[in-house]
Amino acid sequence: MSLTRRQFLWSAAATAALSSPKLSHAWPLALQAPANPEFAGGRFRHGVASGDPLADRVILWTCVTPPDEVAAAAVDVRWRVATDERILQVVAQGTARTGRERDFTVKVDAGGLQPGRPYYYVFEAGGDRSPVGRTRTLPAGAVDRVRLASLCCSNYPAGFFNVYRCVANRDDLDAVVHVGDYIYEFENGRYGDGSGLLRIPEPRKEAVTLSDYRIRYATYRTDPDLQEAHRRHPFIAVWDDHELTNDAWLDGAVNHNPETGEGDWPTRRAAAYQAYLEWMPIREVPGGDIHLYRSFRFGTLVDLVMLDTRALRDQQVATTDLEGLANPRRSILGAPQEEWLFNELRASQRAGTGWRVLGQQVMFARVAQPGRGALISDSWEGYQPARDRVLDFLSAERVRDVAILSGDMHSSWAFDVPRNPWEGYDRGGQGSLAVELLAPAISSPPLFTSPEMRDRSVLLRALLPHLKFLEGDSRGYVLLDITRAQLRGEWYFVPTVLERSAAETRAAAFVCERGSAHLADA
Ligand SMILES: [Fe+2]
């Protein structure tokens, strides 16, 4: 049956299918023996990590597993940073204390470092030594090239983290940008069944309490491929909904059900936040406040502006709620963050920085025609005046060379981003204000695998003039190479998540020339 665009966008089935990418395909995994899950031994079985690099400092992370965790009141952990892998030329060191109150995680903001160079770090406690991690400070001043990997949606029971292994194997990344769904809160089998792969996400129930979320992160961090990605590169991460729970907003979530004993939302949200801060190598704001949105300056070349489009948003409305979708008071960022974003963009443009890269969770580009509802209302499409405010700001303030990184869709998309793709835009990029590069999942089930969804992807390609690439069958990541002259995005796919593998293939490449706001086939 052929559908007109209008029918497609209004089709309840299409809307339902596209608005719940996270729950639609529970799929059986082939029964296979797990490949050697070699964990880091001793007290450091969750590995090491680094993140939120600045030009002079970086967050270093580990977690200690004391021999008798119940009895251990406090553990002192010695840390050292060196310029060499053997940790001989030490440039910073100290001791950090941890304990049960923070799940025995350790976070150090190691300062006094030089910009734009690799460092190596190690932790020691009780005679055990952690693996040696490698990290990198942000460059300062004139910078020729920045290389980032953008990824999302690592679902432990749904498959092996081969994407993390491929990213770990790259030697020359400045940072890994994780745009969310680092964990999934579901019980095993709800969205990915890890029984056959021996990848059961503990606890076996849905994560709801602080203890649940801590155990969930700890399970994920036993994965050797994830450990290796962290050990080799600094991460700059933001949460999406599943670090909290499915389809979350400021005051609740679709998958939060007090009536089934899950308690009140503020308590659950606080638990999820605390576990995230404990387990992720993210810089904490003094006073323990959560401040997910923050920015990173790669010399004069890139300002990376990380957003929280998830936890501060107003509640989602139905895809057919025209009034709600058009309500200018509904916000996806919240007013303080929106003002902060505009200030960051304005300052970056005025400083002459080459590119402004937004690292954020959900699809930004328009996929439904104006006034015709939304195809997906969990993304920026569900907050249309808020999206228009961003685009109007870019236009009015002449903020150029903006690339938006996103994920959440378990499929790969590349867009030019005009205000209205059907008016004042041509396929050559005229009228576009930015570009968007949406990364597929690391292991979550791809969105467009059913015959019905394949048909929809064909339709989308035909109907959206600003859509440059859509692939919905594969898992992978986006590699970004940024120079003064151009921003290049390459989609790399992995052939399987049913067994451990470091294989990958380059599936697509697009280039945005400076000043063009247009993605061209590379
Ligand atoms: Fe996801």
Of 19-23, 41-45, 159-163, 335-339, the least confident:
19-23
Mean pLDDT of 323-342: 97
154 Cα–ligand 1 center, Å: 7
Hey, which bits of 354-395 come out as E strands? Answer: 355-359
Q: What percent of the chain has pLDDT over 70?
A: 92
Segment 184-241, tens digit of pLDDT: 999 999 999 999 999 999 999 999 999 999 999 999 999 999 999 999 999 999 999 9
295 Cα–ligand 1 center, Å: 23
456 Cα–ligand 1 center, Å: 20
* HEC assignment per residue over 14-42: HHHHHHCCCCCCCCCCCCCCCCCCCCCCC
For residue 31, name the pLDDT band (cuts at 50, 70, 90). very low
178 Cα–ligand 1 center, Å: 11
Contact 125, 40 (CB under 8 A): no
96 Cα–ligand 1 center, Å: 34
**pLDDT greater at residue 22 or residue 209:** 209
Segment 360-384, tens digit of pLDDT: 999 999 999 888 899 999 999 999 9
Segment 164-175, tens digit of pLDDT: 999 999 999 999
9 Cα–ligand 1 center, Å: 22
Q: How far apart are CA 170 and CA 176, in angstroms?
A: 11
For residue 43, give every residue at least 6 positions away whose Cβ sits within 8 Å of its Cβ, in sequence order, or none. 64, 65, 66, 67, 125, 126, 128
409 Cα–ligand 1 center, Å: 7
List CB-based neighbours of ion ligand 1 within 5 Å: 153, 181, 444
376 Cα–ligand 1 center, Å: 14
CB neighbours of residue 238 within 10 Å: 27
182 Cα–ligand 1 center, Å: 8
Mean pLDDT of 55-83: 92
398 Cα–ligand 1 center, Å: 33
Distance set, CA 366 to CA 302, 403, 420, 430, 450 (Å): 25, 15, 7, 16, 24
| pLDDT for 352 | 98
| pLDDT for 371 | 81
| pLDDT for 41 | 61
Q: How far apart are CA 366 and CA 331, in angstroms?
A: 16
In a 10 Å sphere around its CB, with 0-12 CB exposed, 13-18 middle and 19+ buried, how is residue 428 labelled? exposed
| pLDDT for 510 | 98
Average pLDDT of the residues of the chain: 91
69 Cα–ligand 1 center, Å: 33
| pLDDT for 369 | 86
Segment 282-314, tens digit of pLDDT: 998 877 677 899 999 999 999 999 999 999 999
179 Cα–ligand 1 center, Å: 10
Mean pLDDT of 460-488: 97
| pLDDT for 481 | 98
| pLDDT for 71 | 74
Whole-model pTM? Answer: 0.92
288 Cα–ligand 1 center, Å: 27
Q: How far apart are CA 94 and CA 129, in angstroms?
A: 15
Segment 382-416, tens digit of pLDDT: 999 999 999 999 999 999 999 999 999 999 999 99
| pLDDT for 154 | 98
| pLDDT for 451 | 95
| pLDDT for 3 | 28
| pLDDT for 21 | 32
Type of residue at 514: R
105 Cα–ligand 1 center, Å: 25
484 Cα–ligand 1 center, Å: 32
